[in-house]
Structure formats: structure tokens, C-alpha cells
């Protein structure tokens, strides 16, 4: 669900609207709750994407989203088990080296 802000004389079509209370709270319209599968206790995430704020139900990431967040430059190089063990040994030696 994307909420866009007013830009000059052009208004954006929206699914629903909410009012902000003096305490900074909003009510999520029933149409939006149904689309996102929200109920009491559901957690929403707010994310900025360019000039828009995206609201989504928390925890709705797939493996591709996680991989892109962890490895933005692409998948890391594959290593054998022996290479991983050697790398761990080298790291520990450097971390605990005296002098």
C-alpha cells in the first residue's frame, strides 16, 4: 500500500484516507486492513522509497528481499568448508594476537 503526498495541482487516487489524531495516531481503514490481513496486535512497517512512504504488514519479506538486503552487490563467492575453517582460524589469530 502506498500513500503519496499532494504534489501541486495534481491529486493522487487513493484507496482510503485516515485522519491523524492530536496524539499522532491513525485508524487503518477496513479496506486496507482486509487487503493486508491485519487484526488486533498486527504490526505495520513504514518505509521510505524515494518521495513516497510505503506501509506494509511487518514480516512480509521473501527470501529475495532478505538476500538483497544482506548482499546488495550480489551473492557472495562460494567457499569450501576447509576455506571457511581456515578463514575462521586466521580471524581468531588476528583478533587475539599479542603485540
N- to C-terminal Cα separation, the chain: 56
In this structure, what are the phi and psi dihedrals at residue 94, rounded to the nearest 5 degrees? Answer: -65, -40
Q: How many domains does the chain have?
A: 1
Can you tell me the distance from the alpha carbon of 31 to that of 33, in angstroms, rounded to the nearest whole number? 6
- Please name the residues in contact with 56: beta carbons below 8 A apart, sequence gap of 6 or more: 1, 36, 44, 45, 47
Q: What is the pTM of this model?
A: 0.44
Q: CA 15 → CA 10, 20, 40, 56, 71, distances in Å?
A: 16, 17, 21, 14, 34
Identify the band that residue 28 occupies on the pLDDT scale cut at 50, 70 and 90.
very high
The helix (run of H) or strand (run of E) holding residue 34 is helix 30-36
More confident call, 6 vs 38 = 38
Domain containing residue 43:
2-95
Domain CATH for 81: 2.10.260
- The three-state secondary structure class of 98 is coil
pLDDT digits over 38-92, tens only? 999 888 989 898 899 888 888 767 788 888 889 989 888 899 999 999 999 999 9
Amino acid at each position: 500500500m502506498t500513500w503519496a503526498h499532494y504534489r501541486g495541482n495534481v491529486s493522487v487516487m487513493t484507496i482510503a484516507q485516515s485522519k491523524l489524531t492530536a496524539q499522532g495516531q491513525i485508524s487503518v481503514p477496513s479496506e486496507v486492513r482486509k487487503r493486508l490481513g491485519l487484526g488486533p496486535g498486527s504490526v505495520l512497517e513504514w518505509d521510505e522509497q524515494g518521495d513516497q512512504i510505503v506501509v506494509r504488514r511487518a514480516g512480509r519479506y521473501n527470501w529475495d528481499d532478505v538476500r538483497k538486503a544482506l548482499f546488495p552487490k550480489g551473492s557472495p563467492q562460494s567457499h569450501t568448508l576447509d576455506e571457511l575453517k581456515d578463514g575462521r582460524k586466521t580471524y581468531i589469530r588476528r583478533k587475539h594476537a599479542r603485540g
